[in-house]
Structure 1
Amino acid sequence: MSDDLLAAFIEDSKEHLESIESDIMALEDLEGAYDEELINRIFRTAHSIKGAAGFFGLNAIGSLAHKLENALHLMRDQKLRPDRPTCQILLEGFDQLNAMVNDPGSSECLDISDMLSRVQGLLTPEVKLGTETAMSLPSPKGQSIFDVDMFTLDQGLKGGKFLYHIEFDLIHDIHRKDKTPYDIIKTLQDSGLILDCKVDFDATGTLEDGFAQRIPLNVLFASIIDPDVIGMLIDVPAERIRELEKSMFQTQSPQGEKAAPPQACTLGDDSPWKMEDSQAVLLFGERFELSQIDEFRRCFLEAPPNNANLRLDMSDTRHVDAASLQALASALKTCAGLNRGLSVVIAQELREQFQKFGFAWMLENGS
């Protein structure tokens, strides 16, 4: 992937990982003694990579970095002894992480379950239970704003840290101010811990009702920075910074039943949709941007009325903007509400633009 934004993430991650082997070996040489500065440096490497991986849809990298982060949280609390066997597992985990960062395109295809299990095995039974207890912050409408395990939430609050829900707008706070989501990540990581971050899929609206002129990016942020000062750190209105308490989180309820399999349908000759096997396909041109959104909405609402899966074929598309990506997000939400499958097919060049605007998550949701 040659996208400048992803390249910056890879370069920063490689810089963090450059000294990881010597740091872990230095820790091992202490024969079980704790070196707070050394452990913190190793921890920040795992946390920095985990915090940014989600923006690029690099879920496997994020999962491994999170497991390593959990073990290092325990070590920072002096509840995990940095002896030779422990350091060896950490070293192998970071070696695997380094290989994945150097080839992010292939990282999602790797089976790292054994490595994840070995790192998870470093945790105490109590901490394991905490990492497996899913918590969520519900919105006033009942949807989950954040999903985080109990152990991560407790670590974020530890040491008198304040917990914040910060809502950025990918259009107004980031894109139109010539910033990137990665700029936001790096700024926040310099002064605290990012516990979770996600685009608010529901807030984009649906194509039937019209979509909002904003794309919220919600960040769950823990920091020692006082609520009176936090607004000076980030360039968003004060009403979009909310201080949280642990009591606001709920144990996550199990997911609902899967939707029924799609049924076949037929299309008229004048429909913008064409049938290919069991899917209704909508073809896109070379560009998809703000001026074409109304036409896209009209076409989408003319999709076959039955339960056929839909596919948006953007194989020939070479340019998108933030507004058109918001329209795609609204289409995904519309289909999700109807229990209807929707996939988005794009060229590699376009994938880099999705990543640039912080929409790699959409490809994951729409696959």
Structure 2
Amino acid sequence: MKNLLFPNNTQFWYETLRSMSHIAYGGADFGEVVATGERIVEGDYDSWHDEWLATADRVADEAERALKAGHKVSARDGFLRASNYYRSAEFFLHGHPCDPRHDHAYDRSVVCFRAAAALFTPVIEPVEIPYEGTTLPGYLYRVDTSGTPRPTVIMHSGFDGTAEEMHFGGALAAVERGYTVLAFDGPGQPGPLHRQGLVFRTDWENVITPVIDFAESLPEVDNSRIALLGSSMGGLLAPRAAAFEHRLAACIAVDGVFDLGQVSVRFTPHDREEAERLLRAEHAPELDAALDSVMADNATARWAFNHGMYVMGVDTPRAFGAAYLDYTLADGIAEQIQCPTLVCDAEEDEFFKGQPAQLYEHLTCPKTLMHFTVAEGAGAHCHPGAMRTALARIFDWLDDTLAATSA
């Protein structure tokens, strides 16, 4: 999709399009997004934060006034939009160490989302999922209050999304179709990273197993029909979990990712073997300088390395690149997935282009590769701008898959 607001900064445009995509499920208004974007100085992280924060504060204040006046629907809608705008405000502040403004905007995003959640019927319930001596934050979505067991979707984001954002990225769409939904943040994702300092881990099955244990304790969950959906980097994490956790009835990768090491070595001037050696080396000053240069010249790389150091718990761009090498479905991992798996593929994915097809080729389970194109407005990573189209196809696939497996 043509870059309409930030012609020289693809990352700023992608994040603007991301907010626009949440219009489909109540997370933004077009005019609010455009008016905010027009005030932002291209490439200036401070300007991005300040303008999105101003919009978020204004919308949140209006929602508060609506709630006090008894206008619950207006309040709910305003809190949803404010939550998304606060999320956007803190997006570029994740350098290592993290900018202190990040905490304020993130906390406001969660507060506003929970205010909105309490105004849904039935309410969207915040939950704490037991996990290795602590808990993971999430949200339970019920179709109704009957307690009837229903097919269930467990869902999570990836490298930079939030459990709250999954409301717009699949949760509400699934509930509309009769699914119980459990959306959560795992280690490395905002809730556990903020509260407990938990960074990402490669063995995502050890995250998903306790989440499934928790889901199976809920009366609204049909234990024989639990699907797992992972978005963005979650398109690697969810299949990784499915390779080892065989209680899943289906797995959905939006979009599919096979090997994050391919991203690490993309930013080096070396072949894969030499790049891996240097990324893991105790000292590699020439590569350090090369990565600094890439960050200076490439807006997406600058953000990715800064955020990556934060979520992986490392101190240098090279250490982040080394950490990424361990996130892979190669060496026979993808082949261990047993449940039916949907791999989504965006025509112009600027982050993981070509990787959905690699994942699909390695799968030996029942599998589907679903293409989304530029012509239908769905060609960007995770299909912002065409969420109704994308989620309709994804959940139609899940409807048909679960019907076939339970027949």
TM-score normalised by the chain length of structure 1: 0.33
**Which is strand-richer, 1 or 2?**
1
TM-score normalised by the chain length of structure 2: 0.31
